[in-house]
């Protein structure tokens, strides 16, 4: 499970973590039945507090994306893909509305906003490729 936390971001670490796990479920990169890293493992890997990871896992369990099996660990729930896709799309639409409002406030046109989004998309693709190469 590839997760990237931006510690300098204004987005809380718990939100970054929850959104990335949900996005991976929605995209099918995490499949129902897949075991996710333990709280301790993921906290160590990301250099974040274990309580942060625990709260995220508990929240995603409550949302039906993860399920905890006593003595076995935490797994992607059977219905996670559909639930995650719907919830993730809803959050994405709201975030896009907020970005559109900010762009309007700055006097940007729709085309200018599309250009900025395309630029950000390209940068993300380059970053993802670099991360994948670094992990291989």
Q: How far apart are the first and last CA of the chain?
A: 14
H-helix or E-strand spanning residue 108: none
Confidence of residue 136 (pLDDT cuts 50, 70, 90): low
The contacts of residue 17 (CB under 8 Å, 6+ apart) are 3, 5, 46, 48, 52, 53, 56
44-63 tens-digit pLDDT:
999 999 999 999 999 999 98
Q: Where are the domains of the chain?
A: 13-78, 81-134
9-30 tens-digit pLDDT:
899 999 999 999 988 988 889 9
pTM for the full predicted model:
0.64
Identify the CA nearest to 23 among candidates 39, 9, 2: 2
- E strand map for the chain: 35-36, 66-69, 73-76
**9, 18, 21, 101 alpha-carbon torsion, rounded to 10°:** -60
Domain 13-78 has CATH 3.30.70.380: no
Contact 63, 87 (CB under 8 A): yes
The contacts of residue 22 (CB under 8 Å, 6+ apart) are 60, 65, 84, 87, 88
């Amino acid at each position: 499970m590839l997760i990237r936390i931006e510690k300098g971001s204004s987005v809380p670490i718990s939100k970054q973590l929850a959104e990335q796990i949900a996005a991976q479920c929605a995209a099918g990169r995490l499949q129902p039945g897949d075991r996710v890293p333990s709280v301790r493992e993921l906290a160590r890997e990301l250099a974040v507090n274990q309580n942060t990871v625990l709260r995220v896992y508990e929240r995603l369990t409550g949302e039906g994306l993860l399920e905890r099996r006593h003595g076995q660990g935490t797994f992607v729930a059977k219905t996670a893909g559909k639930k995650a896709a719907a919830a993730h799309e809803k959050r994405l639409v709201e975030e896009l509305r907020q970005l559109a409002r900010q762009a309007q406030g700055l006097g940007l046109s729709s085309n200018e906003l599309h250009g900025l989004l395309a630029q950000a998309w390209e940068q993300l693709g380059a970053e993802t490729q670099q991360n994948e190469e670094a992990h291989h």
